[in-house]
Chains A and B, each alone.
Chain A
C-alpha cells in the first residue's frame, strides 16, 4: 500500500531502514526540514493520520497505508484557509506565524506550525511542555509564543522606516515553499536529482597523527562509490577556513586534506557516491594507516616547555602564525599608562581568573553545500552553500583551485541560521574539488554530530583580571592576562583575540590598562567566529570584576559603572594609547541604556513588593530562595575593522516596482526586510513602499564584491550601500520625470508610465550604491536580571530580565526586538546549560542535542526590551547594528545577579544548578534538609 503524501500516493516505496523525513523529501516535500535527524529539534514534524510525529524518527515503512501531511499540505486539511495569496490559502496557524512574524531564519517554522496546528486549548495553555520538542535558535521564543497563541499583529507590508514591515519571505516560510540550501530541484541544479552525487567525510579518530597511507581500494569497490579524494588529490596550498575581507587576517594553516591530523574529527578523505548510504559504506571501507603522535589538549599543556607542537612544521612568516614553536597563533602585549602604579594607587584591588567554555552555534540548518559545473555558463563552477559570506567563499575557492574569480559563482538559498559559524568554508572546498574532478553535481551535508566534532565552536578564554579602584569610585587600573584556545587551527584565532580585548576594555575610562593575550593551538576541534567575536568572553570577566570592585569600595555597581564608562567624546582606548581613527561616536546611548535598565529593575522590584504573588514576585517563593539583582554593560563597534564592503544595485522595473540586488546574505538576521525598508524610505516620494521592492541577494553573479554578513554589518554596511543606491535612483527618477514631463509634479507620474517612457528613450533608470565600512560607530547593550536561587537544590529562576539596546534609529522595531530576544536566549543557553565537553582523549563528548542543552521554550523567560533614543550620524538613516551584541552583556549580568543573591562569585561558565548548589554547600550556605517542597519543574 502506497504512502499517501498530502493526498497523493507516493511514487516509490521506502528503503527498509529509511526514516520518513528523507523519504518525504525525496518525494518532493522539501518543506520538511532537518535540524538534528535525531528527534530533538522538531523541524521535521509532519502528521501521520493527523497525529504530529518527528519524521526523522518515524520508520518510513510504517507509513505505508497511512496519510502523511507535510507543511505543504497543511492548508488543504482545514475547511477555511485564510487569505488568498499566490500559494493559495493558509491554515490559521500559518497565518498566525505570518502575523506575529514568529521566525527569523525560518528553518524551525514548518515544524513549529505543524506541531502547534494540532494543539487543543489544554495544550495551548501549557506551551513550555508542549513546545519543548521544537527548538528555535533565533527568536528566543517570544515571537513564537505570540504566533502560537495568535496574539501577534501584522505590520504594514508597504511600510517604510520605523514600521514593523513583515519579512518578504513570510509566506514562503510558513508554507514550506521557501528554498533553503538543499531544497533544490532541477531548476537550481542541472540534472537533479538523478545526477547528484553525495559526499561523506572520513574523519580522524586521533587527536594528533601522521597519515602514513590511505588505502581506498575497498571503498572504491563498494557499489555506488564513484571516487575517493584524499591528500593526494588536494591542492598543495595552505589556507584558512575563516573568511575575512583581508585574507591575511587569518593564518594559512590548513590544507583541504592534510597528511597530519590535528584533532579528532578532522577530515581526512571524502567518499563520493551515488547515494548517501553508499558514501557512508565507502567511508567505513577506507583504510587509513595512522602514526599516532602525542597531543596537547589544553592551552596549559600547549604552553608548557617542550610541548608537542600543533603546527611546528610551519613557517611563521609564510603562514602568519605568530610562534609555531610555542603553539601560539597570535599574541598581543600592550600597556597604556602604568598598571602597577595604578594598582598601587588603588584603595581596593580585585584579582581573579575567569574561564569561559566551548559553545556551539547550533544554527538549525547544518553546514551544507552543492557544487556543480554549469555547461550553460561556460563550465563555470557553481556552489550553492549555506554561508554568510558568498563572495569571500568565491574568492577562496578561486584561490584554492587556481581559477579566475569569474570561473566561480557562489549562491545561497535562504540560510537557516549562522551566528558566525557560517563565516567559514567547511564544506564548499570539498564539494568544489569533487565537482571539478567528476563533472557532476556533488552535495555534502553535515550531520548534527558533525556540527559538534567537525565544525567550530566559540573560543574558550581564560582571563586573569587585576583591577584597582579608589574609594571615590575611580577605576585606577585594569590588567588582563588572556589565553584563548583556538583549537587545531587558527581560523578567527587572531581576530577573536584582538576584538575580544578591544571594546570590552575601551568602554571604561581608566588611565592604566595592560593586556597580555595569546591565542593558543591545541589538538582539539577548532574554535571559530561566534556571535560576539570574543567580546562575550571578555565582557564576562571585565563586568564581573567591575562588579566585585564596586562591592569592595562599597559603591553600588551601577553607580561605579556610570562613574567610569565612556561618555560621548571620550577617547576609546584599549591596547593602544591613540584611539582607532575610524571609530567615532556616531551616536551615544550608553547612559540612556543604563538608566532604562536601572529603572526597569526598580519597577520590577516595586511590582514584586506590591503584588508578591504576581509574575515578578517572590511571594510564592519560600525562605530558601535567595534573591538578587545584577547588571552588565557592553559596547561594540558597529563594523569590523580594516574594511567591509557592500554593493547594491537598484532599478525601476517596467511594472513600476523596483528591483534591488544586494550582496549580503539573509540567514535570519532580518537584513532583507531592513534593505527593502531603506529603499522604500528613500523612494517614498514616488509612492514606493516595502512591498514594491523586489529583492534578490547573496549571489556573486548579481552584484560586485560584498564582504558578507558578519560583524553585524547587514544593516550598517550593506544597508548603507542600498540606501545610497536608492537615494541615487530617487534623484534619477526625479530628474527624468522633470525632463520627460516638464511642469508636472514628478511624484504624480505613475512609475510604470515613467518606466515605459524611460525605456522608449533608452534611459535606464537604475543606480548603484557602495559602502566600504568606514568610518564606524559604536553601539551599546545593557542587561539586568533579578534572579532567585534555591539554597537546597541550586535551582536558579529568572524573575526579571531586561535589556536596553542602543540601536540608533530602529528600522523595524519588531524585528530588532527579535534580534535582542534571540541574542538573550542564546546567551542564556551559553551561561546556564550549553557546554561542548572534550574528553580525556580529545574527543567531543557532547555531540548530540540531548547532551548539549539548547534552550527550549520552557527555559527562556520573556525579557523586557527597550531602545535608547539615538540617531547615528554614520549609519543609514541613523540606524546602527544590533544582531551580535545583545548576546554580550547577558552572562555577566546573570553572574552578578547570582552574586548579589548568594554572595558567591562564579568565575566559570556555565552556571549550572549543580555547580550553584555545590558552591553554596562549600560556602556553608546550602540548606541540607528540606524546609519546603522542592519545586520539581
Chain B
C-alpha cells in the first residue's frame, strides 16, 4: 500500500545517514504490506549493489539484500553448490514455508525476513538452523557479529539497535557440510508455519535441532557425537530448553498443539538423522 507519510526515498546503506523516522528498505514486502503512519524516509539498501551470494571454503555468505528468489536458486538440488554443500537441502523447503508466493520472493529479502523477526520467519529458520552468523553495521562505524538464533529475540523483536542494519549472513562450512532435514506443520496446506524444525547431523557426528515457528524465538538444542539422545532424552532436552511460556500463541496455532508438534517433529528428525530404524526414518524433507 502507499506509504503516505514518506517524504523521501534515499539510496543509501550508510548507518550514519539513519535518523529517527527512517526505515531501511529492502524488498519492501513488509513495509508496504503493513503500511505506516509515522515513517518519514526510506533508506534503500538494495541500491548498495551487494553481491547476493558469495562462497569460499569457509562457507556461503548471503547479503542481507539477497532475495528469496535467489535463495531458492541456491537450493537447486541439481547444482554444483548443492553437491558441495549437502546442508542446503533445507533451503527449498524453507522458501516454500513462506505464506508469500514465489512472486513476492522476487522482492523479499533474507535480511528483511530476519529483521522482521516473526516466529514463522523461514529465513530466520534457515539461517539459525545452519548456525548462520549475522554481520551488523551500526552508526559511527559500528560493526558486530551475532548468531541469527540470538539476533531474533521474540515475536517481532530482535537485538538490532536503532539505525543498525544487517549487512550479511555467514553460513559456516560445518553446517553446510552436514546432513540436514526439515519438518513443518501448519493449520492449512501451504499456510503459515505453526512449527518448523530443522535437524542437522554434522560431520563430527553431532546432532543439532533448531526449533522455530512454534516458539517465540529460535531455540537450538545441541548434542555432541558422544551424547546423542534417545527418545526420552530428546524429550527431556526439549522440556529443559523450552518453558511453556516460550511457545507462541496466535491465530496460526494453539500453543499446546505447537508444543506437542514440536516434540513429535523433533522425534521424527532424531530418528531420521540418527538413523534409527523404523517409521519416520525416510529420506527427504
A and B are partners in one complex rather than unrelated chains? yes
Please report A residues at the B interface, Cβ cutoff 8 Å.
Answer: 15-19, 22, 37-40, 42, 45, 51-54, 56-59, 61-62, 115, 128-134, 276-277, 280-281, 284, 447, 622, 792-795, 832-833, 835, 837, 845-846, 848, 850-853, 855-856, 858-859, 912-915, 917-918, 921, 926, 928-934, 936-937
CB distance from B236 to the nearest CB of A (A): 14
Q: Which 9 A-B pairs have the closest CB atoms?
A: A133-B101, A17-B6, A17-B3, A914-B257, A277-B4, A37-B1, A914-B254, A16-B9, A937-B189
A285, B29: Cα distance in complex, Å: 28
Complex: A932 Cα to B39 Cα, angstroms? 50
A934 touches B32 (CB 8 A): no
Chain A's closest residue to B183 (CB) is: A936
Apart from A42-B101, A851-B251: 20 A-B pairs, beta carbons within 8 A: A17-B2, A17-B4, A17-B5, A17-B42, A42-B103, A56-B1, A56-B32, A57-B28, A62-B44, A128-B189, A132-B101, A793-B261, A794-B257, A833-B188, A858-B189, A914-B257, A915-B254, A929-B264, A936-B93, A936-B184
B102 contacts A by Cβ under 8 Å: yes
Q: How far is the CB of A917 from chain B (nearest CB, A)?
A: 5
Q: Is the CB of B185 within 8 A of A933?
A: no
Q: Which residues on the B side are within 8 Å of A276 (C-beta)?
A: 2, 4
Q: Does B106 contact A (CB under 8 A)?
A: yes
The 8 Å CB contact of B279, one of A54, A855, A930, is A930
Asked whether A133 lies within 8 Å of B33 as measured between CB atoms, the reply is no
Offer 25 A-B interface pairs, CB within 8 angstroms, sorted by A.
Answer: A19-B1, A39-B29, A45-B103, A51-B103, A51-B106, A58-B107, A59-B25, A115-B103, A128-B190, A129-B190, A130-B101, A134-B101, A280-B4, A281-B5, A622-B279, A793-B264, A833-B187, A846-B251, A853-B191, A858-B190, A914-B254, A914-B258, A915-B254, A929-B264, A930-B280
Q: How far is the CB of A806 from chain B (nearest CB, A)?
A: 31
Assess the B264–A930 pair: CB atoms within 8 A. yes
A855 to B191, CA, bound (A): 10
B264 near A856: Cβ-Cβ < 8 Å: no
Q: Is A934's CB under 8 angstroms from B264's CB?
A: yes
Known interface pairs A276-B2, A913-B257, A915-B254; A929-B101 also in contact (CB < 8 Å)? no
- Are B187 and A914 in touch, CB under 8 angstroms? yes
Min CB gap A868→B, angstroms: 32
A132-B190, A859-B188, A914-B194 as given contacts; A54 in contact with B103, CB under 8 Å: yes
Interface centre among A852, A915, A917 (most CB of B within 10 A): A917
On whether the beta carbons of A850 and B99 are closer than 8 Å, the reply is yes
**How far is the CB of A446 from the nearest CB of chain B, in Å?**
12
Q: Which of A281, A832, A915, A917 lies in contact with B4, CB distance below 8 A?
A: A281
Q: Does B242 contact A (CB under 8 A)?
A: no
Partner of A19, one of B2, B267, B282: B2
**B192 with A57: CB separation less than 8 A:** no
- With a cutoff of 8 Å between Cβ atoms, the chain B residues found around residue A933 in the complex are 268, 279-280, 282
Does residue B104 face the partner (Cβ distance < 8 Å to A)?
yes
- How many pairs, one residue from A and one from B, have CB atoms within 8 Å of each other in the complex? 191
- Separation of A56 and B103 alpha carbons in the complex (Å): 12
| Contact, CB under 8 Å: A934 / B183 | yes
A856 to B271, CA, bound (A): 33
Which residue of A129, A833, A932 is within 8 Å of B96 (Cβ)? A129
Residues of A within 8 A of B245 (CB): none
Q: In the bound complex, how far is the Cα of B102 from the Cα of A926, in angstroms? A: 35
Contacts of A284 on B, CB cut-off 8 Å?
A: 37
B256 within 8 A of A: yes
Interface range on chain B (Cβ under 8 Å from partner) = 35 or more
> Which B residues are CB-close (under 8 A) to A913?
185, 187, 257
Give the distance in Å from the alpha carbon of A792 to the alpha carbon of B27 in the complex. Answer: 38
Question: In the complex, what residue of chain B is closest to A852 when comparing beta carbons?
Answer: B251
**Chain A neighbourhood of B194, CB < 8 A:** 914
Contacts of B280 in A (CB 8 A): 930-933
Q: What is the distance, in angstroms, from B180's C-beta to the closest C-beta of chain A?
A: 14
* A170 shortest CB reach to chain B, Å: 25
**B9 CB, nearest partner CB in chain A, Å:** 4
* Cα separation A622 to B182 with both chains bound (whole Å): 20
Q: Which of the residues B107, B250, B257 comes within 8 Å of A57, measured between beta carbons?
A: B107
**Of the candidates A45, A277, A832, A928, which one forms a contact with B2 in the assembled complex, judged by CB atoms under 8 Å apart?**
A277
Give Cα A918 to B254, complex, Å.
9
What is the distance, in angstroms, from A886's C-beta to the closest C-beta of chain B? 21
Contacts of A912 in B (CB 8 A): 187
B230 to chain A, nearest CB (A): 12
- Chain A nearest CB: distance from B76 CB in Å? 12
* Known pairs A132-B190, A932-B280, A937-B190; A57 contacts B29 (CB<8 A): yes
Minimum distance in angstroms from A14 CB to a CB of chain B: 9
A850–B252 Cα gap in the complex (Å)?
A: 9
**B132 lies within 8 A of chain A by Cβ:** no
Q: Interface 1/0s, chain B 194-226, versus A by CB < 8 A?
A: 100000000000000000000000000000000
B106 CB to closest chain A CB (Å) equals 5
Across the interface, which residues of B come within 8 angstroms of A280, CB to CB? 4, 37
In angstroms, Cα B185 to Cα A45, docked, is 28
B264 touches A792 (CB 8 A): yes
Q: Are A133 and B268 in contact (CB under 8 A)?
A: no
Q: Is residue B133 contacting chain A, with contact meaning CB distance below 8 A?
A: no
Answer whether residue B56 sits at the interface, using C-beta atoms and an 8 A cutoff.
Answer: no
Once bound together, how far apart are the Cα atoms of A835 and B187, in whole Å? 13
Q: Is the CB of B103 within 8 A of A58?
A: no
CB distance from B215 to the nearest CB of A (A): 15
B188→A133 contact, CB < 8 A: no
The reply on B186 being an interface residue by CB < 8 A is yes
CB neighbours (8 Å) of B103 from chain A are 42, 45, 51-54, 115, 133
Q: Is B100's CB under 8 angstroms from A39's CB?
A: yes
List A contacts of B191 (CB < 8 A): 833, 853, 859
B186 touches A58 (CB 8 A): no
**Alpha-carbon gap, A137 to B157, bound state (A):** 34
Q: Which residues of chain B from 215 to 270 have any CB-CB distance to chain A below 8 Å in the complex?
A: 231, 250-251, 253-254, 256-258, 260-261, 263-265, 267-268
B106 to A52, Cβ gap below 8 A?
Answer: yes
Bound form: Cα–Cα A280–B194 in Å: 35
Query: Contact mask B98-122 → A, CB, 8 Å, 1/0?
Result: 0111111011000000000000000
- Min CB gap A790→B, angstroms: 10
Q: How far is the CB of A741 from chain B (nearest CB, A)?
A: 61
Q: Which residue, A45, A277, A851, A933, has most C-beta atoms of chain B within 10 A?
A: A933
- Pick the residue among A51, A130, A792, A859 that contacts B189 (CB under 8 A): A859
Give the residues in chain B near A61, CB-CB below 8 Å: 9
Say yes or no: B192 contacts A850, CB within 8 Å: yes
CB distance from A927 to the nearest CB of B (A): 9
Interface centre among B5, B93, B101 (most CB of A within 10 A): B101
Contacts A936-B184, A937-B189, A937-B190 hold; do A837 and B2 have CB atoms under 8 A apart? no
Q: How far is the CB of A18 from chain B (nearest CB, A)?
A: 5
Beta-carbon contacts under 8 Å, B1-40 to A: 1-9, 25, 27-29, 32-35, 37, 39
Compute how far the CA of A846 lies from the CA of B250 in the bound complex, rounded to whole angstroms.
10
Closest chain B residue, CB of each to CB of A851: B251
Check A930 against B192 for contact (C-beta < 8 Å).
no
The answer to whether B185 touches A793, judged by C-beta atoms less than 8 angstroms apart, is yes
Residues of chain B with a CB closer than 8 A to A17's CB: 2-7, 9, 39, 42
Q: Is the CB of B104 within 8 A of A54?
A: yes
- A575–B239 Cα gap in the complex (Å)? 56
Q: Which residues of A are found within 8 Å of B104, using beta-carbon distances? A: 39, 53-54, 57, 133
**Cβ contacts under 8 Å, B188 to chain A:** 832-833, 853, 855-856, 858-859
Interface 1/0s, chain B 167-190, versus A by CB < 8 A? 000000000000000111111111
Q: Which residue of A lies closest to B251 (CB)?
A: A851
Are the C-beta atoms of B32 and A59 separated by less than 8 Å? Answer: yes
A-side contacts of B183, CB under 8 Å: 934, 936
B39 smallest CB distance to A (angstroms): 8
Question: Whole-angstrom distance between the alpha carbons of A447 and B190 in the complex?
Answer: 26
Q: In whole Å, how far is A792's beta carbon from the nearest beta carbon of chain B?
A: 6
Taken together as a complex, chains A and B put the C-alpha atoms of A850 and B193 apart, in Å, by 12
Chain A residue at smallest Cβ distance from B38: A284
How far apart are A164's CB and chain B's nearest CB, in angstroms? 30
